[in-house]
Structure 1
Amino acid sequence: MQQLLKHLVSQPKKNLNRIGIKGCGFSVPPNIRGNDDPIFHQVITVANAQGIAEKDLFTGMKERRYLAQGERIEPLMVEASQLALQRAQVIPEEIDRLYGYASVPEFYTPNSLYLVHKGVQLPEHTLVVPMNNEFSTFLLGVLEACTAITAGRSKYALIACGTNWTHYMDYTQGHALSIGDGAGAAVVGPEADFELIDYATQTLSVQYGAMTMQSRDTQRATYKITEDTGIYSFQVSAMEGIPTMVQSLLNKHGLTGANIALITHQASRVLMDHWAERLQPKQYLDTLAPFGNLTLASYPVTLAYHYLNIATDYLVFAAVGVGYHQTALLLKRHNR
């Protein structure tokens, strides 16, 4: 990927196809859950052995959208995808790659990204690529789509991410305070509004198992952050790792925070305020207050929500994810 990007950047401007994000869309359910919802009365408030109450790490939410019992995330992913296609002025028949993930899926396999293919009426030759890489699925989808298009293997790709995590929460856990449901999508192709310039990534696999979604006391899977390694991932790896990675990426291209609009993981205002202080972006775009933490869908939803109001020459995505890993993308704006 790095070699392809270097080749692309090194070409004269007249030969550039300007590959990146052409348009995006989002969809959230109508049901709203506020901070005073009775479901949050179960949240444990006692501090752990390190003196930390998990709930105190998850702040900044006002409302979250949620799927009612029996409602599914795939129709929202289809709607977000259709809006992205309209904005990009690309028809379904032109999409030859579909990346993304529906989380949590109906089955262990296949992922219901295949239902999105059906709902959007994509052609049979479209390659469907489910990417189970919480929470950086959208960023990896952009990377893989740009790689395929640069290599001449694809013309247009669609990335669709949806989360229904409110159905898979243990509401005694502090992180449950932040979770909402929703879906976002984007079209990647040539003559893009936001051209992919570069990326950075880091994998800290020693923290494998610190954050997991699995069946525990019941048949239904729930998310958990361990009291030791998981809290460390939050307070150290994510807190300091994201601004260090993004700053290194900016330095590489002679940029500063004043040049960028920033979209990050948005689990908590605790993290986001720290990242804002460290990076000083001209615009810090988020949807935490109205929609809560949309996990893997936060990135395309936030992009679509703020798309017309991005006022900087560069856009940076910064994702953290279980495993543990973190990834950042640098894109250049061309839609002025």
Structure 2
Amino acid sequence: MSERNAGLLGCGYQLPRRVRRNNDPVFQCLDTSRNAQGIYQSVLFRDLDRRHCLGPDESITDLVTGSCRRTLDSAGVAAEDVDRLYGYVSVPEYHAPNALYQVHHDLGLGPEAMVVPINTEQANFLSGMVHAAEAVRSGSATYCLVACGSNWSQHIDYSQGHSTCIGDGAGATLIGPSDRFVVIDHGTRANTSYYRAATMATRPLTVHSRRQLPVDGTGMPVPTLELNQSGVEVVSSWIKDGIPELVNRILARHDIRGDQITLITYQSVRILLDHWAERIGPKTYVDTLAEFGHMISATYPVNLAHVFDCVATEYLVIAGVSLGMQLEAVLLQV
């Protein structure tokens, strides 16, 4: 059986109603001192203005479901025609199962529609796109939803510099037989020696000089993100140079120039965005750092849906990084 093209048929996203600005009281505990290596972590994360954060009456699972509905509506495909649901909801309500199963239920997907949670934080969406495109090309599936949502604003130590960039959101895309937004290549590059550089775990935090375990509204402990010193170092070295090296290698395989692409990347650190713009040289760089902040795994589908109807280049590249550490990039022909 000959392979068919697998492309994006539609996109959608949904953000929380609440907007957090730079003067929000939650940032009053921010540590603005210099660390042992002479780095002010609070200064690394700058040029932010707004982030959308979940309110007490909002659920990240509901936002993922809403983004999927918008995606199906934009593609003109019924929920019962979806064969697979890839992606991840993070941080999940339970260690297992992932809330992606609840999304399957709430969407009304058929009982034969496979749920495939992919926990490659933060690049879940990119991994899902690759697997979905392979399933469509091989003929083992016709329509695959790829959806991710992140609620990490509820799992952050707000004394740390990286807390200033975190926002919540959800986004999705539908991949099926198409000659538009065709997934034509992808690549990865792993450096797992940094496995412990950035981790999500239950741990005590220091708040107003007191050590305490963060808890949710029911009094149960909640996990929080920790970016240790090797994490700060990997951001400013391996990730900084690895993203353009990976993207440029994929482009070179197809004789594509930077000025032929629209680029969507990991967003959180301004100096990285500026560096990648210089090294890759895209015609259009989707930069929503000030508007949305860093939405972890939702960064990629939200930004894709945000510009989906106005991409004016011949190619689109989405590049990100997982906490593992693994870089991923996907090349699409528009």
TM-score by length of 2: 0.93
Are 1:89 and 2:76 an aligned pair? yes
Cα drift, residue 16 of structure 1: 6.5
Question: Secondary structure of 1:278's match?
Answer: helix
Give, in whole Å, the separation in 2 of the partners of 1:70 and 1:46.
35
- 1:72, CA displacement in angstroms? 1.2
1:188 aligns with one of 169, 175, 178: 175
How far apart, CA to CA, are the structure 1 residues paired with 2:85 and 2:248?
31
Distance 1:196 1:151 in 2: 13
Counterpart code for 2:332: L
| Aligned residue number for residue 263 of structure 2 | 262
1:72 aligns with 2:59: yes
1:139 pairs, out of 114, 126, 133, with: 126
Q: Residues 16 and 58 of structure 2 are in contact (CA less than 8 Å); yes or no, is this contact kept in structure 1?
A: no
Tell me if structure 2 keeps the 8 A contact 1:160–1:183: yes
Change in Cα spacing, 1:192 to 1:67, as seen in structure 2 (3 Å) is farther
For 1:33, what is the secondary structure of its paired residue?
A: strand
Q: Distance in 2 between matches of 1:53 and 1:298?
A: 25
**Residues 223-245 of structure 1 deviation map (CA, whole Å, 9 limit, x = unaligned):** 01111x11121001111100111
CA offsets 1:24-46 (integer angstroms, 9 cap, x no match): 00000110100111111111111
Counterpart of 2:148 in 1: which secondary structure?
strand
Q: Counterparts of 1:1-336 in structure 2 under 5 Å?
A: 17-217=4-204, 218=213, 219-227=221-229, 229-333=230-334
Deviates more, 1:67-76 or 1:167-176: 67-76
Using the TM superposition, give the Cα deviation of residue 60 of structure 1 relative to its aligned residue in structure 2, in angstroms.
2.2
Q: Is the 8 A contact 1:22 1:192 kept in 2?
A: no
**C-alpha distance in 2, partners of 1:311/1:182?**
25
Letter in 2 for 1:141: G
Partners of 1:295 and 1:64 in 2: CA distance: 12
Give the drift of 1:96: 0.8
Q: Deviations over 1:156-184 (max 9, x none)?
A: 10011001111111100110000011100
Return the offset for 1:18: 2.3
CA distance in 2, matches of 1:200, 1:55: 32
1:101-130 CA-to-partner distances (Å, cap 9, x unmatched) read 100000000000011111111111110011
Return the alpha-carbon distance in structure 2 between the equivalents of residues 16 and 282 of structure 1.
31
Deviation of 1:287 (Å) = 2.2
Q: Say if 2:145 and 2:172, in contact at 8 Å, map to a contact too.
A: yes
- Count how many residue pairs are aligned between Structure 1 and Structure 2: 319
Name the counterpart of 2:209.
Answer: none
Alpha-carbon distance, 1:321 to partner: 1.4
- Alignment match, 1:12: none
What's the C-alpha RMSD, in Å, of the aligned pairs? 1.3
- Does the 8 Å contact 1:180/1:292 carry over to 2? yes
Counterpart of 1:4 in structure 2 is none
- State the alpha-carbon separation in 1 of the partners of residues 150 and 134 from structure 2: 26
Structure 2 unmatched ranges of 5 or more: 205-212, 214-220
Deviation beyond 4 Å, 4+ runs, structure 1? none
Structure 1 CA distance, aligned partners of 2:251 and 2:139?
Answer: 28
Contact 1:25 1:83 in 2 (8 A): yes
Distance 1:168 1:274 in 2: 29
Name the structure 2 match of 1:11: none
Contact 2:5 2:137 in 1 (8 A): no
Tell me how far 1:192 sits from its aligned partner: 4.7
Deviations along 1:140-199, one digit per CA (max 9) or x if unpaired, are 111001111122211110011001111111100110000011100000010153001111
Q: What is the distance in 1 between the residues matched to 2:247 and 2:178?
A: 25
Do the aligned partners of 1:20 and 1:142 also contact (CA within 8 Å) in 2?
A: no
Counterpart amino acid of residue 240 in structure 2? M
Structure 1 stretches of 5 or more lacking a match?
A: 1-7, 9-14
Q: Secondary structure at the match of 2:83?
A: strand
Superposed CA deviations along residues 1-58 of structure 1, whole A, max 9, x for unmatched, are: xxxxxxx9xxxxxx76321211100000110100111111111111111111111111
Are the aligned partners of 2:3 and 2:138 in contact in 1 as well (CA < 8 Å)?
no
**Take 2:269 and 2:22, find their aligned partners in 1: how far apart are those partners?**
14
Letter in 1 for 2:288: T
